[in-house]
């Protein structure tokens, strides 16, 4: 179950990256957009290609770095939502 949940979250992350505008992606080339989207495509469509070692590496190494890169790009919530 945990493996499935992690793969699903990576799939959602990849879909969100795919939906970012080209202008936004070009403005932030430090984010590995094509890698994120490519991983999503493997998880969603090429199940036999999923490598658990790669998923583990993404989760333990790449995701913390990605969070650090993305946090400054997230606009603050309006005061009434916080």
Three-state DSSP state, 21: coil
pLDDT in tens, 51-63: 899 999 999 999 9
In sequence order, which residues have a C-beta less than 8 Å from that of residue 6 and are 6 or more positions away? 55, 59
For residue 40, indicate whether it is catalytic. Answer: yes
Asked if pLDDT for residue 28 goes beyond 90, the answer is yes
- pTM of the full predicted structure? 0.84
Predicted confidence at residue 81, as pLDDT, reads 74
Mean pLDDT of the chain: 93
Give the active site residue among 8, 25, 28, 45.
Answer: 45
Asked if pLDDT for residue 18 goes beyond 90, the answer is yes
In sequence order, which residues have a C-beta less than 8 Å from that of residue 15 and are 6 or more positions away? 40
Give the active site residue among 19, 25, 40, 54.
Answer: 40
Tokens 């080339």 belong to residue: 29
Predicted confidence at residue 82, as pLDDT, reads 62
User: What percentage of residues in the chain have a pLDDT greater than 70?
Assistant: 99
For residue 45, indicate whether it is catalytic. Answer: yes
């Amino acid at each position: 179950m945990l493996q499935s949940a992690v793969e699903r979250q990576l799939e959602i992350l990849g879909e969100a990256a795919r939906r970012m505008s080209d202008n936004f992606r070009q403005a932030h080339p430090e984010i590995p957009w094509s890698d994120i989207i490519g991983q999503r495509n493997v998880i969603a469509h090429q199940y036999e290609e999923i490598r658990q070692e790669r998923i583990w590496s993404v989760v333990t190494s790449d995701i913390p770095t990605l969070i650090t890169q993305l946090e400054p790009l997230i606009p603050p919530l309006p005061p009434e939502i916080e």
